Amino acid sequence: DTAVSQTPKYLVTQMGNDKSIKCEQNLGHDTMYWYKQDSKKFLKIMFSYNNKELIINETVPNRFSPKSPDKAHLNLHINSLELGDSAVYFCASSRGGETQYFGPGTRLLVL
Amino acid sequence: TQLLEQSPQFLSIQEGENLTVYCNSSSVFSSLQWYRQEPGEGPVLLVTVVTGGEVKKLKRLTFQFGDARKDSSLHITAAQPGDTGLYLCAGARGAGSYQLTFGKGTKLSVIP
């Protein structure tokens, strides 16, 4: 069974569209994260939720909005997509501040 | 922003050779983690080092945390093609910290 899963794996869309990426973890963790990895492989945290509450919100355009319906899910909604949003987005989860387990990533390409 | 500098950025070696990857910062971290990421996959944790001067071994991989907890190294002995991947170091700012600061990674290619 996949511990941290993301859908979709690939997402190709036009500039200006709104899209969502879903993340689910079956590890019973209480903390979930979204990271962005750019073309140079630099991995940067965007958001973190602990028990459904936002605890980390890095400098990210407000077009990005995370939503955590329950502790096992953290979705990422992106409004008005721009070319610069093209990247690989990783979801991760952890128990408190312990080891983070990453999902397989969602490859977003904005045309 | 606390930065982690990794070197080298790229490394291509022959199977059987040894190599060392470095992760340096001007800031102190409570712990430092090493991940390996393979193409099309997410990063997978290899090890966490917590104590200054700590050395951990994982088969042919040896990890060391600097005495001042500002730097770390990963040494691979007798590299194999299966070691190929992107190696990332990540530092945590406080005990149980939720926020990791990642280095930019070292892309290792081991040629058979």
The amino acid occupying position B33 is Q
Mean pLDDT of chain A: 91
CB distance from B45 to chain A under 8 Å?
Answer: yes
pLDDT, one tens digit per residue, over A58-76 is: 778 899 999 999 989 999 9
The CA distance from B26 to B71, in Å, is 8
Q: Looking at residue A52, what is its pLDDT?
A: 79
Closest CA to A90 of A78, A101, A106: A106
Give me A105's structure tokens. Answer: 């990533």
Distances (CA, A) of B91 to A84, A111, B21, B96: 26, 34, 15, 12
The nearest CA of chain A is from the CA of B91 a distance in Å of 12
Q: Which two tokens stand for residue B43?
A: 């990063």
Cα gap A60→A74, rounded to integer Å: 16
Q: Which residue is it, tokens 């936002």? A: A54
C-alpha to C-alpha distances, B3 to A13, A21, A52, A82, nearest whole angstrom: 33, 28, 29, 27
| pLDDT exceeds cutoff 70 at B30 | yes
Confidence at residue A99, expressed as pLDDT on a 0 to 100 scale: 83
Write down the residue that tokens 């069974």 correspond to: A1
CA distance B91 to B27: 10
From A32's Cα to the closest Cα of chain B, the distance in A is 9
Tell whether A28 lies on the interface with B, counting CB pairs under 8 A.
no
Whether A105 sits inside 8 A of B40 (CB atoms) is: yes
What's the pLDDT at A19? 97
Contact list in A for residue B99 (CB cut-off 8 A) is: 45, 48, 56
How confident is the model over A4-31, as a mean pLDDT?
96
The residue-averaged pLDDT of B41-58 equals: 94
Q: Convert the pLDDT of each residue in B50-69 to its tens digit.
A: 999 999 999 999 999 999 99
Confidence (pLDDT) at A54: 82
Q: Which residue of B29, B35, B98 to mutate against A (max A Cβ within 10 Å)?
A: B98
